[in-house]
Amino acid sequence: MCRLEGGIRPTFLLGFALLFRLTAFQMEPLFSDDLFRYRWEGRVAAAGLNPYDHRPAEPKLTHLLEPRVDAKDFKPVYGPLLQSLQLALVNLGGDRNLNTMKWGACLADLLLCWLLWQWLPPNEKWRWIAWAWCPLGLVEFWGMGHHDAVMVALALAALYAAERHKWPWAYALLGLAAATKYWPILLWPYLARRGNWRWAALTPLVFALCWLPWLTDISENAKYTGGFVGGWRNNDILFGAILSLTNSLDAAKRTSMAIIALSSLAAALFSKSPRQAYWTIALSILLVSANVHPWYLTWILPLAVFHWPWPVLLWGALAPVHYVVLIRWRQEHIWEGLTNWRWAVYLPVFALLMVQIVRRRYVGNPRS
């Protein structure tokens, strides 16, 4: 097989990427209970019930209960496409083998890797390493099994189609992405303005079709869904400042949501490419939300293959420090999402960001 720029063999990149993933697949999900939540929701659906109508704490569902499911008083919040995926994985054997519940995330990550490889120009394939060997992605998708992989793969596939002006595919894939963890719908105004608007109705149509098997009253679920924006604080960045200025949790939540909505509008009006629109919205969500789990960084890290934003790469490298909160959680069942350890992540990241801003201001704009 031919060598890439710099004499790197593709088999070297691909081989180690696969080896790292198979190694991570053997990990126990020690950093998150999400995989157990996925299996519980899949079990409820397999029992002929609608997961959106039930809580793990309900006495009548004790025979389906997962011991490691936290937040037992809350109804499910994941999108309908993920409910269908969880049901399929349980039926495929996930009820007996927890690793089977990782298959959705693993297959989505393989699709994402293939997509990024195809997306990169021939002389820049070596940049693929920025995601293919990214430890955070390996652990969160192949070790912890987070379904964010499905959302990211579908959202970036929509961007890939948009860049090639395949608008029916772009809008349909965006509808599927929005049916996972919702926020990709914020990209719809950009596609509707910059793309072929005649196909724009495909996004809400596909999103609605994903809901058909799970239709029910989700008003209570929706309240909890907004929790990551302003319901509880966990490793937040700017939310604390917003809270201080508004002096009200509800007002801070509304302000954060308004900023996120404005980021969608700004992306539609000013972004020069689908990838820039995605960066604008995803980074805005991470910066102003009250809850920033380490695996949320996987929303943006795959795009590092196109240009290496060193502050973001450093952020991804340091994000596992946030897991220090699990020590007290496992020992005393007390969650301290605002430990000072978060500054060990954010201070270096913002320091590097300031260095880059100064360099661009006084040295120019060197290629990353």
- The answer on 196 and 53 residing in a single domain is yes
- If you ran DSSP here, which 8-state letter would residue 99 be given? G
Residue 102 lies in a domain: yes
Look at residues 180, 182, 188 and name the one whose alpha carbon lies nearest to residue 149.
180
Residue 121 domain-assigned? yes
Same domain, 219 and 314: no
d(CA 265, CA 58): 41
Same domain, 68 and 185: yes
Q: How far is CA 32 from CA 70, 76, 146, 303, in A?
A: 10, 16, 9, 24
312: which 2 tokens? Answer: 């973001």
The answer to whether residue 287 sits within a structural domain is no
User: For residue 368, what pLDDT is reported?
Assistant: 42
Q: For the chain, how many structural domains are there in total?
A: 2
Task: Count CB-CB contacts under 10 A for residue 358.
Answer: 10
Are 204 and 58 found together in one domain?
A: yes
Classify residue 45: in a domain, yes or no.
Answer: yes
**Does residue 207 share a domain with residue 65?**
yes
For tokens 């349909």, name the residue.
Answer: 172
Of the candidates 110, 135, 119, 153, the one whose C-alpha atom is nearest the C-alpha of residue 299 is 153
Residues 151, 25 within the same domain: yes
- Does residue 293 lie within any of the structural domains? no
Whether residue 44 sits in one domain with residue 187? yes
Q: Is residue 157 part of a domain?
A: yes
- Token look-up 């652990």 returns 139
* Burial (CB count within 10 angstroms: exposed 0-12, middle 13-18, buried 19+), residue 334: exposed
Range of the domain at 367: 307-368
Nearest by Cα to 235 from 119, 318, 157, 151:
318
Give the pLDDT confidence score for residue 336 in this predicted structure: 85
CA nearest 236: which of 341, 342, 344? 342
Tell me, yes or no, whether 86 and 190 share the same domain.
yes
In a domain, 199, yes or no: yes
Task: Give the pLDDT confidence score for residue 283 in this predicted structure.
Answer: 95
What is the reported pLDDT for 7? Answer: 59
pLDDT at 358: 86
> Do 350 and 213 fall into the same domain?
no
171, 192, 223 - which closes a domain: 223
Q: Are residues 45 and 167 in the same domain?
A: yes
Residues 6+ apart with CB under 8 A from 146: 32, 34, 105, 140, 295, 298
pTM of the entire predicted model: 0.92
Give a yes or no: residue 288 inside a domain: no
Report residues of the chain scoring pLDDT below 50: 1, 366, 368
Q: Of 223, 245, 277, which closes a domain?
A: 223
pLDDT at 304: 94
pLDDT for the residue numbered 231: 66
Which of 176, 196, 223 delimits the end of a domain? 223
